[in-house]
Chain A
Amino acid sequence: MSVITKRIFGEFQVRGLSHSYGGVPVLEDCTLDVPRGKLTVLVGPSGCGKTTLINILAGYETSTVGQVLLDERPVAGPGPDRLVVFQEMALFPWMTVEENVNFGCRASGMPAGEMRSRVASVLAKVGLADFRSKYPSQLSGGMQRRAELARAMVNDPKVMILDEPFRGLDAMTRSMMQEFYVGLFEEVGRTNLFVTHDLEEAVFLADRLLIMTYRPGKIREVIDVDLPRPRTFQVMATPRYNEIRQHALELLYEEASKAFAAGSQAAFDLVDGFAKAAGR
C-alpha cells in the first residue's frame, strides 16, 4: 500500500443539491464539503435523507437541481473512485475472503502479480491474512466487516463512503471495529465519509461532524471535532468529547421536534418525553 500518497485522495463539493421522490422533497438546497484526507461523519434523524445523499454522491442516483463535484468534476454515474461500504453484508458467500477482495481488483484490469501483492497487503492490514481461504460464513461479524473494508480499500478509491458499516454488530465488537477503523484512517489519511445514527460513534471518529436537518434534509451545522489524534477509547471520558456530544444531542433533539411538527408519531413521543423530562 506504499503506492498511496495523499495526492490521489479526492474531495467532494456539494452545492445547492435538491432531490425529491414523487414530488416529496427529500433534500433541499443541501450544501456541504467532504474535504480531502478528512473523516467526515454525517448524522441526522431517521428519514432525513442521509441515504439519498450518499446514493447521489456515489452516483447511483442523479439529481436535477444543484451540483455534486468530485475534485471539481461533476459526478456522473458510479465509479471505482468512490466506493461505498454498506450496512448490509455485501460479501459473496460463495467466494473466499481472498476471492472477494480480488473481485474488486479484477474489475480494474490490474496485472495479476500486482493484484496479488496488493490483496495480500490489504488483508494483512485488516488482520485477515490467516483467514484468506475462509468463506464469509466462517468468520465472526467483526471479521466480515473488516473483509468488506478490505474489499473497498483494495482499489484505492479517492473517497470511501461508509453507510452505517457497523450496524448490527454487538456493542463490544462494534467498539473494537471503531477503534480498528479509526486506526486505519489515521494511518493512511484517506478521504472518508461515514454515515451513522450512533452519536457516540460519530464523535469518536470524526474530524468534522455534519448534523442534518429533518426532511427535507440539508446541513444544519458543521461541528469541528478538535479531539486529538490518534484517538483511543479513553477520549470518550474527556470533557471536550462530552461537550461536543451534548451539543450535537441538543441539535438532534431540535430536529426531532421538527419531525413532530411534520406529524411523525415517533418524534411526538420523543419531544413529549423530552419536554416532560426537562419540566417544560
Chain B
Amino acid sequence: MSVRGLGPDAGPKAGPDAKAGGDISIREVTKIYDPDGIHVVAVERCSLEIAAGEFLVVVGPSGCGKTSLLNVLAGFEDLTDGEILLDGKPIAAPGRPVEPGSDRIVVFQNGALFPWKTVLENIVYGPMVQRRRELGRARQAARNLLAQVGLEGIEGSYPAELSSGVQRRVEILRALINEPRVMLLDEPFRGLDAVAKSVMHQFLLDLFERTRLTMFFITHDLDEAIFLGDRVVVMTTRPCCPKLVLQVNLPRPRDHRALGDTRFLELKRAALEAVHEEALKAFRAGERELA
C-alpha cells in the first residue's frame, strides 16, 4: 500500500512526492495558568521546529507541562506568550482566539470512544458533526480504513465488545478519517501490557510509514520513545522546555530488532540520565510542597 494520507480520498494525489504539509514551528511559547492568583508557569520559552512527516516524541517527568504544550498545539487552550505556526500559518498566539481544527487531531490516552455507538458510528462521527462529508461516503471511508489495517468485520461491534488493543486502534482510525496533517498523541498506549504494547507499536509504525503524517507523541516509556521516534525531546520539569534533543538514527522501517541495536542502547542511556535527573527534581519538589 503506497498510500500517503492513508484514507478514504487518498487517490492519485497520494504518492511519495505528495506534500500534505504538517510543518510545525513552536516559537518561544510560554503558558502560564493563573487560577486565583496562583501563578503556575507550565511552559516557558519553549521553541521547537518539527518538520512535515517527522515523528517527534516528547518525554519528561509527570506534571512537567508536556500535556499543556500539546493542548496549546491542539487549540484546546490559548498561550500566554510566543506563537505556533502550522505550515507557516499561525494557529496559536496570545490574544488569538483558540481554534481547534481537523488539521491536527488528538488521540487521547484512554477510552474516548462513545460506548453507545458502534465502531463505524464512532469513526464517522467527526466528519458527520462537522458536515464535511455525506454519510454514505464517510461510511465507505471508514470501512476502507478498517480494511487497510486488517480490522474488517468489526464495523457493527460496540467498544465494550473489543479488546483494549483494538479499541485503541479504532481511536487512531477515528482521528485519521479527518485527514489531519498532524497527529497529537498523549500516552496513547498507557496501561497496556508489554505484549499488547509491542503490537500497538508495530501498528503505529506501519501507519506512519504509509501516511507520513507529522506525529507529536508524548510518553513516559523511553523504549517506546526511541523505537518510534525520529527525534526524542526530553523536557525539563515545570516549566517545560527542551532539555535534551536526541536524533534517532535507526533505519526505517523498524521492527523489534531495532531494540537490540547498540545505537538504541546508547540513546536510551542518554535519555534515561536526562529524564531521571528531571524526575528527581520534580519528585523532591513535590515532597517539599507536602511537608
Q: Which A residues have a C-beta under 8 Å from some C-beta of B? A: 45-46, 130-131, 134, 138-140, 142-143, 170-173, 175-176, 197-200, 233-234, 236-239, 242-243, 246, 249, 252-253, 256, 265-266, 268-270, 272-274, 276-278
Contact = CB atoms under 8 A, between A and B. Distances in A.
Interface hub of A45, A170, A198, A237 (most chain B Cβ within 10 A): A237
B290 A266 contact: no
B291 A172 contact: no
Contact of B194 (A243, A249, A278): A249
B268 A269 contact: no
B165 A273 contact: yes
Contacts of A134: 290
A80 to B, nearest CB: 31
A172 B164 CA distance: 23
B199 interface: yes
Given A173-B283, A236-B222, A242-B259, 8 more contacts: A139-B290, A171-B220, A242-B265, A246-B260, A249-B198, A266-B164, A277-B198, A277-B255
Contacts of B272: 233-234, 236-237
A276 B193 contact: no
Interface hub of B195, B259, B265, B268 (most chain A Cβ within 10 A): B195
B269 A237 contact: yes
A252 B194 contact: yes
Contacts of B206: 277
A260 to B, nearest CB: 11
Contacts of A236: 222, 268, 272
Contacts of A266: 163-165, 196
B99 interface: no
B276 A233 contact: yes
B287 A238 contact: no
Contacts of B161: 265
A249 B195 contact: yes
Given A234-B272, A269-B166, A173 B199 contact: no
B175 to A, nearest CB: 19
Binding site of B, secondary structure by majority: helix, strand, loop or mixed?
helix
Contacts of B280: 176
Given A237-B269, A242-B260, A266-B163, A131 B150 contact: no
A266 B160 CA distance: 12
Closest 3 CB pairs of A and B: A171-B220, A273-B199, A277-B202
Interface size class of B (residues with CB under 8 A): 35 or more
Interface in B229-273: 255-256, 259-260, 262, 265-266, 268-269, 272-273
Contacts of B260: 239, 242-243, 246
B220 A172 contact: yes
Interface in B7-30: none
A85 B165 CA distance: 29
A199 B291 CA distance: 33
B287 A140 contact: yes
Nearest to A238: B265
B112 interface: no
A276 B276 CA distance: 35
B259 A270 contact: no
B195 A253 contact: yes
Contacts of B114: none
A265 B193 contact: no
B269 to A, nearest CB: 4
A277 B199 contact: yes
Given A131-B291, A236-B272, A274 B265 contact: no
